[in-house]
Structure 1
Amino acid sequence: MSVPEPPPASEADEEAGRIARLAYLPWERRAEDLAAPEHRARVAFLTRHAGAEITESAFVAPGAEVHTDSLHLGPGSILAAGALLRGHLRFGARCSVNAFAALSGRITCGDDVRIASGAALVGFNHGFEDRETPIHRQPHEQLGIEIGDDVWIGANAVVLDGARIGRGAVIAAGAVVRGEVPPLAIVGGVPARVLRYRGEPVRSPKGRAESALTALARRVGEEWQDVLARHRQGDDYVSADAKGRVGPAVRHLCDAVEIAAGFDGLDAIGSRGDLVTRLQGFQDGPSGLFPDPFLETAPDRPAFREPREDPIALYNVLAVGYALECLGAAPVHPVRAVELDAPALCAWLEGLPWRRDAWNAGAVVDAIGTGLYLNTRYFRSGRGIETLFGWLALHADRATGLWGWPTQDSGLLRPVNGFYRITRGTFAQFGLPVPRPEATIESVLANHRAHEGFRGTAYNACNLLDTIHPLWLCLRQCDHRRDQALAIAADLLERAPDRWRDGRGFAFADGQEPSLQGTEMWLSTIHLAARLLDLDGIFPFVPRGIHRTEAAGWLLPPAPSGQDSEMERRPDAIPKPQAATQRP
């Protein structure tokens, strides 16, 4: 049985279909649509009730939600159905606002601006700093948004108050824009960054990163010795720490050793024998920890009941231990503070501030793991390694892959940064897989997004190292979100040359003076980012100490019963100078 042909559409049906289509494709308007009584009535209504000034050749589709205090719609400009406009808006000639875009606040557009579906332009901001007052009752701030001529704002992009978008710029779909966008720039990402400029050849993120890394490699290779010389005062190194405090410290001496070792230039910092003797002399024999004599008279230094409560003495297990290994030496004494039986070690771990400060908890674990590494390599040790790894395996959060809790003020920042410290001294150091790599990658990326890729003083060596190292470590076990991780690494490498100060090195954070700590940490972070992109062969610095990427790769058998507390030096533990990094 044949199906009858549908009757031909009447002219009225054809016109009704065209009008329905026109609401969402208003660029198909005709002269008669502008002159139609329905459109004239719409314009008149908006003139009376929305403070609108709509030129004769502009078109407002039925279904456009216009609730402005003032609106100027220039010649040939169009508003599609579903577009939402509020506040004080001004459009030049031939602008278009597509369906379901939302514009509010104070926004000024030049000529030929294209705003795609789903875009959100917010030309005001809520106050929120007063914690005692609900946000909706705090005063608004309104810097406004300014958009130049010939700008394309892509689908679902977000443009925030205060943005200034230059002529000819392109905002990629899904980008979040704040601040200045240069003319002709193509920007994308969260937060948005310049990908290239219109008319330039398209280069991959890896290609751009390679160009930046090549230029930086030449500068650091030529100037690292100047950086060390600038901070050297006699036998000491005087530099700023992460908080900007300037003075001599054990860590500064160790950073100088690690920088020189990373460039295969230990001869540039003096006699190895003298350095070894000095570094070994910092060790406290009974505990095996390394308190800092330079800081003992600091006015803000608290009193500690025992050496293992001193975070500097714990950190210097890493700083001095690895500096000695860079020099082909080892500590004189075992790190007895970490040689505990299982109940005592578990009690120490469980007493750490996991809920309020997972970063500092992770720092203690880093020192414990490194102390056990040094004891295992150079002395006869007990069963602490098994206890430590067992405790960590049982306490990793299944949802986040991290240890510890997020905080109200900084979210996942402390657990993510703590993850780096924990795994650096344990899983990475001993070449063992982390418990939940996919969940960890999700957490690290979420933390990076939450802090908008880090800005201002938050764009510092700690936050970036603690992002790149976990991504590098977890991506050795899986390919989860690899493209996003590589994009972060590429962005870091593109931005790195702007942070190097000729002959002075890297500052720990934007706004600080260059320092040895900042230089060593940023060099190591850049090396890790380059490794993620398989570009590390370009860069002359290879971490040989704290931030080295090769693992011990072995676990020695436990000491026989009765020898756990003797801790005598293993006769076969002959330190060797660090060789070039080998890929695990």
Structure 2
Amino acid sequence: MNQQKTDDDGLFDHCPWLYAEQASQRQRAAQERRRERLLGGAGSVRLGEGCFVAETAAVYPDVLHLGDRSYIAAHAYVTGDVRTGADCTINPFTVVRGTVTLGDGVRIGAHSSLLAFNHGTSPDLPVHQQPVTSRGITVGDDVWIGSHVVVVDGVTIGDHCVVGAGAVVTKDLPAWTVAAGNPARRIRDRREPRGAAQGAEVSGGVAPGGAASGGEAAGPRSRPAAAPPTGPPRGAPHPAVKEQEPSALAGDLSAFATAARAQAADLLGRCRQPGTGRYVDRPGAEPTVRAHCDAVEIAELLLGQAPPDLPAAEHAARLRALQDPVTGLVPEYGAPPPVPRPAGLPEDGASAYHVLCVGYALDLLGSSFAHPVHTVRTTTADRLVRHLAELPWRDRAWHAGAWVDSWSTAAHWNLRLGTEAAAPGALEALFGWLHTHADPWTGMWGSPTPESGRLQMVNGYYRLTRGSCAQFGLPVPYAERVIDTVLDHVRDARHFAPGRENACNVLDVIHPLWLCARQTGHRAEEARSWAANQLTAALRRWHPGRGFPFGPTPDGTGPGREPGLQGTEMWLAIVWLLADLVGLADVLGYRPRGIHRPEPAPPAEGTA
């Protein structure tokens, strides 16, 4: 006997991908009421265009952001902080709990569990009294997770992965992995020919050809296997603000710039240490070389002159006197000359950053270093290449990128002084190594990490390209893939949830977006939308007479939430970059000319 279909037969609850084309007006009205209940309930809820949430799904989030055309099917259980890209499906009876971030085109098969939390196991307490911890689960783009899969807390599943039915994923899976088993293990790379590993895949719970058992996870919108991340917009606007009309935003920018210029002398004065001519980042802090350089940058941007306490020549003389004539490096106040490594620079620390900030502060003051950076001038190509290979790209990509930034900036200052940048062939070796080691799927150097997602990779990309490609006026490789990676990164709630943004993380997103936009129009509207929302949020951070705070840092160190020179210098540049990407930079009446200058740094006279 055939069962008669009615408007209430639960078809779309169990097969939500059919809703868009087959739902009746009555069913659409019922879904709209479901949507309104979710938006009006507890927690922060944002639902993209064409989303569907089954009536029978238990959805009790702290945060729920569904990208366009994403679905939660019947009897799914969703709690915590869950954010998805576009075209994602959480199928029937699936459990998604804790801090879970999904990219675009993620299909999760029925009866699977993504459990982004854990209980302690100390023997001195019953399990139900143990503290609950959460590191989060991150799933990339174009990922197919089969039925009855369990993904545990702290796992990152890379782009384009396929996870076979019944697998238990306890460790990270690199991009393009086909995995199965308990615990899940790699079967093959999805891009490899399929025939060779097919037998192992069937026994591991993955169907022949690499398809995860539990076909409903694929849905009708799965991407081709080899497609790089493309598709509909997926950037997450700032959750706390709505994008303004351009005319309103232009008015806010103009008012901000006028106020900042009027208050610049006061905010510089509060950070000047009486009787020493030195600067502190914020009242109560110790004086630093960087603080003096930040003061020079802020004064040039807002006042068009040197900090008003001293003539420009005196500021320059004080900074030039700090350079060690033997190494060419600048130590912190009271510190001994830094000890360079074989490739010319310390791995990290103040002296590495002083190559940037002191060099550009002197440039803004109409001066320059007194000596070449000798430790870089003598670096040979083979030593440089060996050192590049030894840098911690995999798990500390920011530190690796910062080292490249400092080295290439030192080479630039050497050229400006009319000496060799480095030993013959070394500068060419740097760019050759960078271009041959960029990942064609992310456009970047380094890899995501379970602890911080794409943070190290994206932040390291900014530092690296600032000193190399941007400073020397060269195109970046794989610009479209960089944009994809960066727009994926801004969905990571660990770094971009309300109240978590800091100057470093926002700068390290807007600069790559801005830089790559000069080469491609890829996802331009999405990038501009993100920039407009961030711009609105940034202007609200200004403290009259005190400037910008840097923002919260995970370890509680650094400038933090107190307004100071570092936060002000960085946010002024960020505001310009954000405004330029949305076409409103001219309203500000200033343009960075120091570390964050948009144009390539000028070469020495007589050089190409």
Q: Does the 8 Å contact 1:500/1:506 carry over to 2?
A: yes
Q: Secondary structure at the match of 2:395?
A: coil
Deviation of residue 313 (structure 1)?
A: 1.0
Per-residue CA distance 1:476-503 (angstroms, 9 max, x = gap)? 0001111111112101111122211110
- 2:478 equivalent to 1:478: no
Whole-Å separation in 1 of the counterparts to 2:59 and 2:363: 64
Whole-Å separation in 2 of the counterparts to 1:129 and 1:462: 30
Alignment of 1:267-286 (within 5 A): 268-286=308-326
Aligned to 1:225: 265
Deviation of residue 318 (structure 1)?
A: 0.6
Whole-Å separation in 2 of the counterparts to 1:99 and 1:286: 65
> How has the CA–CA distance of structure 1 residues 130 and 556 changed in structure 2, closer, same or farther, with 3 Å as cutoff?
farther
- 2:72 equivalent to 1:83: no
- 2:565 equivalent to 1:516: yes
Per-residue CA distance 1:146-168 (angstroms, 9 max, x = gap)? xxxxxxxxxxxxxxxxxxxxxxx
Q: Does the 8 Å contact 1:508/1:517 carry over to 2?
A: yes
Q: Secondary structure at the match of 1:293?
A: coil
Aligned to 2:382: 343
- 2:529 equivalent to 1:529: no
Aligned to 1:398: 440
Q: Which residue, out of 363, 366, 369, partners 1:331?
A: 369
Deviation of residue 129 (structure 1)?
A: 5.7
> How has the CA–CA distance of structure 1 residues 105 and 496 changed in structure 2, closer, same or farther, with 3 Å as cutoff?
closer
- 2:510 equivalent to 1:449: no
Alignment of 1:68-467 (within 5 A): 83-86=55-58, 100=73, 125=98, 128=117, 190=236, 193=239, 206-234=246-274, 235-240=276-281, 246-263=285-302, 264-266=304-306, 268-294=308-334, 308-309=345-346, 311-339=349-377, 340-381=379-420, 382=422, 383=424, 384-451=426-493, 454-455=496-497, 458-467=500-509
- 2:540 equivalent to 1:498: yes
Q: Secondary structure at the match of 2:508?
A: helix
> How has the CA–CA distance of structure 1 residues 494 and 333 changed in structure 2, closer, same or farther, with 3 Å as cutoff?
same
> How has the CA–CA distance of structure 1 residues 439 and 269 changed in structure 2, closer, same or farther, with 3 Å as cutoff?
farther
Paired letter, 1:322: Y
Higher radius of gyration, 1 or 2: 1
Deviation of residue 18 (structure 1)?
A: 6.5
Deviation of residue 379 (structure 1)?
A: 2.1
Deviation of residue 239 (structure 1)?
A: 3.0
Paired letter, 1:317: V
Q: Which residue, out of 529, 544, 554, partners 1:487?
A: 529
Deviation of residue 463 (structure 1)?
A: 0.2
Deviation of residue 406 (structure 1)?
A: 2.1
Whole-Å separation in 1 of the counterparts to 2:60 and 2:597: 56
Whole-Å separation in 2 of the counterparts to 1:132 and 1:379: 64
Query: Which consecutive unaligned segments of at least 5 residues does structure 1 have?
Result: 1-12, 30-58, 61-79, 90-97, 108-116, 142-187, 197-202, 560-584
> How has the CA–CA distance of structure 1 residues 404 and 189 changed in structure 2, closer, same or farther, with 3 Å as cutoff?
closer
Whole-Å separation in 2 of the counterparts to 1:435 and 1:123: 37
Whole-Å separation in 2 of the counterparts to 1:490 and 1:350: 38
- 2:581 equivalent to 1:544: no
Q: Does the 8 Å contact 2:235/2:490 carry over to 1?
A: no
> How has the CA–CA distance of structure 1 residues 294 and 480 changed in structure 2, closer, same or farther, with 3 Å as cutoff?
farther
Count of equivalent residues:
422
Q: Does the 8 Å contact 1:260/1:269 carry over to 2?
A: no
Q: Does the 8 Å contact 2:503/2:550 carry over to 1?
A: yes
Per-residue CA distance 1:351-391 (angstroms, 9 max, x = gap)? 22212211011111111111111111212214332121112
Deviation of residue 236 (structure 1)?
A: 3.6
RMSD: 4.2
Whole-Å separation in 2 of the counterparts to 1:119 and 1:230: 57
Q: Does the 8 Å contact 2:57/2:73 carry over to 1?
A: no
Deviation of residue 336 (structure 1)?
A: 1.2
Q: Secondary structure at the match of 2:280?
A: strand
Q: Does the 8 Å contact 1:354/1:403 carry over to 2?
A: yes
Paired letter, 1:239: V
> How has the CA–CA distance of structure 1 residues 122 and 502 changed in structure 2, closer, same or farther, with 3 Å as cutoff?
farther
Paired letter, 1:265: Q
Deviation of residue 539 (structure 1)?
A: 1.1
Query: Which consecutive unaligned segments of at least 5 residues does structure 2 have?
Result: 13-22, 32-51, 62-70, 81-88, 99-114, 133-233, 553-559
Whole-Å separation in 2 of the counterparts to 1:440 and 1:88: 34
Whole-Å separation in 2 of the counterparts to 1:353 and 1:128: 29
Whole-Å separation in 1 of the counterparts to 2:539 and 2:547: 11
> How has the CA–CA distance of structure 1 residues 88 and 353 changed in structure 2, closer, same or farther, with 3 Å as cutoff?
closer
Deviation of residue 296 (structure 1)?
A: 5.8
Whole-Å separation in 2 of the counterparts to 1:490 and 1:87: 31
Whole-Å separation in 2 of the counterparts to 1:472 and 1:444: 11
Per-residue CA distance 1:115-158 (angstroms, 9 max, x = gap)? xx99999997567265879xxx98899xxxxxxxxxxxxxxxxx
Whole-Å separation in 2 of the counterparts to 1:81 and 1:501: 42
Per-residue CA distance 1:208-266 (angstroms, 9 max, x = gap)? 5324323322221211111100101134444348xx99210000001001111112132
Whole-Å separation in 1 of the counterparts to 2:375 and 2:517: 33
> How has the CA–CA distance of structure 1 residues 271 and 104 changed in structure 2, closer, same or farther, with 3 Å as cutoff?
same
Q: Does the 8 Å contact 1:429/1:552 carry over to 2?
A: yes
Q: Secondary structure at the match of 1:500?
A: coil
Tell me the TM-score normalised to structure 2 length: 0.61
Paired letter, 1:505: G
Paired letter, 2:390: G
Whole-Å separation in 2 of the counterparts to 1:323 and 1:499: 25
> How has the CA–CA distance of structure 1 residues 432 and 272 changed in structure 2, closer, same or farther, with 3 Å as cutoff?
same
> How has the CA–CA distance of structure 1 residues 396 and 320 changed in structure 2, closer, same or farther, with 3 Å as cutoff?
same
Deviation of residue 17 (structure 1)?
A: 6.9
Q: Does the 8 Å contact 1:523/1:541 carry over to 2?
A: no
Tell me the TM-score normalised to structure 1 length: 0.63
Deviation of residue 454 (structure 1)?
A: 1.1
Paired letter, 1:308: L
Whole-Å separation in 1 of the counterparts to 2:477 and 2:59: 51
Paired letter, 1:315: Y
Q: Does the 8 Å contact 1:221/1:540 carry over to 2?
A: no
Paired letter, 2:324: D
Q: Does the 8 Å contact 1:240/1:513 carry over to 2?
A: no
Q: Secondary structure at the match of 1:308?
A: coil
Q: Does the 8 Å contact 2:340/2:375 carry over to 1?
A: no
Whole-Å separation in 2 of the counterparts to 1:434 and 1:23: 49
Per-residue CA distance 1:539-576 (angstroms, 9 max, x = gap)? 133222111111136588899xxxxxxxxxxxxxxxxx
Q: Does the 8 Å contact 2:235/2:530 carry over to 1?
A: no
> How has the CA–CA distance of structure 1 residues 27 and 435 changed in structure 2, closer, same or farther, with 3 Å as cutoff?
closer
Deviation of residue 451 (structure 1)?
A: 3.4
Deviation of residue 193 (structure 1)?
A: 2.9
Whole-Å separation in 2 of the counterparts to 1:516 and 1:19: 62
